[in-house]
Amino acid sequence: MSVPLPVSLPSAPAEFVVLNSRRSTLVLEAHADEAPLWRYWGPRLPDGARPDAPLRDTRPLPSFMLDFDQPLTLVPTFGVGWFGQSALLAHRDGLSFAQAITACEVEWITPQRAVRLRLTDAVAQLRLDVTLALDDASDVLVASTTLTNLGDGVLDVQWLAALTLPLPGRCDTVRSYAGQHVHEFLLQTDPLSRSVWRRENRRGRTSHDCFPGAVVTTPGATDDAGLVYGAHLAWSGNHQQSIEWLHDGQYQWQLGEWLAPGEGRLAPGATLHTPELVATLSNAGYNGLAANFHTELRSRLNWPGGTMKPRPVHLNTWEGFYFDVHPGPVKELATAAAAVGIERFVLDDGWFHQRHHDRAALGDWWPDESKFPNGLGDLVAHVNGLGMEFGLWFEPEMVNPDSELFRSHPDWALQIDGRPLITGRNQLVLDISRPEASDYLFGKLDALLTELPIRYIKWDHNRDLTTAGLADGRAGYRAQVHAAYALFARLRAAHPEVEIESCSGGGGRIDFAVLRHTHRVWTSDCIDALSRVDIQRGYLQFFPPEVMGAHVGTAPAHTTGRTQGMAFRAAVALPGHLGVELDVRHLNQADRNELAGWIALYKQLRERLHHGRVWQGQTADGVVWQLHGDEAATDLTLLAYRIKPSTHRYTPAVRLPMLLADARYLVQELQPAGAHGAAHHTSAPLFEQLRGAGVEMAGAWLAEAGLPLPRALAETACIVQLRRL
């Protein structure tokens, strides 16, 4: 046994690594012989602001303390004096279970904007490369970590954080999102304390019930004011995040991929790459934080042709037909859809070989001979002839036991020897990390996309992963996610004009990583407008509205049985990527006319709704609202939703603090052509003027006193346009 080395303080002088954006600053204290120490992540500091002394010079050791102070580092490690959550947990056949960085190299990628920290542990024989990039336009920090095994033996990794973030001790609350199928983005608010706050997901996809991100607040934070922090793991699989109180009164926040046993097993020379962490902060409350996330995601959405075209109004056939799709009725629906202004027609489930219900045929991706004996070409031509794009539903990662594919290749399903196959929605999961399975899927989709002018794919993923074993018996959760990304990329490369929607049973795969490959997410299988209000408000904390699938559904809603009027259903769907999910043929003429009016209004507003800021708020009387418009607050649209009956005699005004105090605005209520049935109980002269030519109002008054709202029935909406004069 070797003789232990005496503990010594770092010998290298401190180098301060500083990243700045418009409104935030990150400061690390780097020494050549240890991991960088966290000094600051918060609101923007003046240029040149640096710590006055090394951190340890400011921290006298308390009683019963180790003789060597170990503050929070960029990669806190287990076993050598750090007793908090570690950024890395690993070993070599039970040995080398403790790690500590012995060398640190700072490599600037872009001065003051992006840096790579090369951190080596010469004893445990590994290297951690941590990349940090702070974007000036969005104030968003994008970070990731790569672990390399420098030793001769296998390194087993149990946990590797994408990044460890510091949070100030004044943080008091964490806001996260739970939920389930048809009830996603359910806001959870927990106090921060000395207890560890943790969320873990092991479902194999992003999940409906455990969103991989959160918002941390400081006292007094509101929608529009106060310091808040946010982070999101850009990853479509298992994940974990935790917030832990530290003994200097601060907190550490870690996010990373949750690794199944064996998934972090690294051969000599092998690497493990974490997902990207997307983190930001704002002094402008939740709305400021949302604006940062929206800006970052928008800058990296991979649109066909490089730019987003106006988001086309979209009809999906699912709740109109379910599996009962046949050329005649589908063509009739397409004709009716075009007549009300639909621009994209998407044929959902039920079109492929022997697909008559959810118990068979997944994997057999060719048109059903009994429904479409001549293929889909005639239907696609009919849809295109009506001036609409054609889209098609697939669920490529799944297979039914009752299918030609499974009968030919039962070994292609994820499975564990000796364990029963567990179905979900009567389906199994294909091991698409197998090249032959991925090639099969690409071949089937590519053939249809090559043969027909299909411009849109609705890509579903309707179950969690269980018995997720690869061909060699190892766990395949992360392999499945990377294989899905690779299949997306391969298909996009072959057909760059095609847009892809990430559906996943509604909200099961919504994250920044899947949106590096896709162009829309289906926010929830619940189209009940009242439920959708909260779902969409939670979604908008992280994601912009133009990729939020939002449909006008049936009444009563299929998932809840509740009924709302056409106006409320349409108004709730309006600010997202508008779609329709009902059989237009069965609407009476008044409802058809009203739906056409809402579609026309969406086309009038979509550039404003989908390119600017989104602000959200609420009053004390059952009204929630969102405002869309340009950053300069010159052209805005307010959508106010009354979600429950009023408890006030007079509806409280909506304060709009983002308006310019020295400006005047023309304020006008918008109502679509064909609207029928008044939502307002009573009226007053001001509201008559708003519904007419509009009213000129002072920005300062609207910001501080607020915009009056009419007294209205529950489950109604008021839409107002504000233009700076």
Task: State CA 520 to chain mean position distance.
Answer: 10
- Give yes or no for a contact between 211 and 219, defined as CB atoms under 8 angstroms apart: no
Q: Which of the 8 DSSP states describes residue 625?
A: E
Choosing from 348, 368, 525, 583, which is the catalytic residue? Answer: 525
Residue 472 annotated in active site: no
**For residue 219, cis peptide bond before it (omega within 30 degrees of 0):** no
What residue has token string 């769907």?
Answer: 573
Residue 361 identity: A
**Bridge partners (DSSP) listed for residue 722:** 636, 667
What residue has token string 């909260």?
Answer: 534
Q: Buried b vs exposed e over 82-101: b needs ≥16 C-beta within 10 Å?
A: bebbbbbbbbbeeebebbbb
CB atoms < 10 A from the CB of 535, how many? 25
- Give yes or no for a contact between 90 and 99, defined as CB atoms under 8 angstroms apart: yes
Query: What are 152's two structure tokens?
Result: 């001769």
- 3-state SS string for 409-438: CHHHECCCCCCCCCCECCEEEECCCCHHHH
- Give yes or no for a contact between 658 and 718, defined as CB atoms under 8 angstroms apart: no
Task: State CA 215 to chain mean position distance.
Answer: 13
Residue 513 identity: A
- Using DSSP's 3-state secondary structure scheme, residue 277 falls into strand
What residue has token string 């301060």?
Answer: 16
- Give yes or no for a contact between 446 and 480, defined as CB atoms under 8 angstroms apart: no
What residue has token string 């009242």?
Answer: 530
Q: How far apart are CA 254 and CA 162, in angstroms?
A: 7
Choosing from 135, 364, 460, 464, which is the catalytic residue? Answer: 460
Q: How far apart are CA 356 and CA 403, in angstroms?
A: 12
Q: How far apart are CA 531 and CA 559, in angstroms?
A: 10
**Range list of β-strands (E), 547-645:** 548-552, 577-580, 613-618, 623-629, 635-642
Residue 591 annotated in active site: no
What residue has token string 């699912």?
Answer: 318
Please report how many Cα atoms fall inside a 13 Å half-sphere around the Cα of residue 385, on the Cβ side. Answer: 8
Residue 432 identity: I
- Give yes or no for a contact between 66 and 226, defined as CB atoms under 8 angstroms apart: no
CB atoms < 10 A from the CB of 439, how many? 14
Among the listed residues 525, 23, 4, 620, the one whose alpha carbon sits nearest the alpha carbon of residue 295 = 23
What residue has token string 């090394």?
Answer: 54
Phi (first) and psi of residue 384, to 5 degrees: -60, -35
**For residue 556, cis peptide bond before it (omega within 30 degrees of 0):** yes
Active site residues: 460, 525
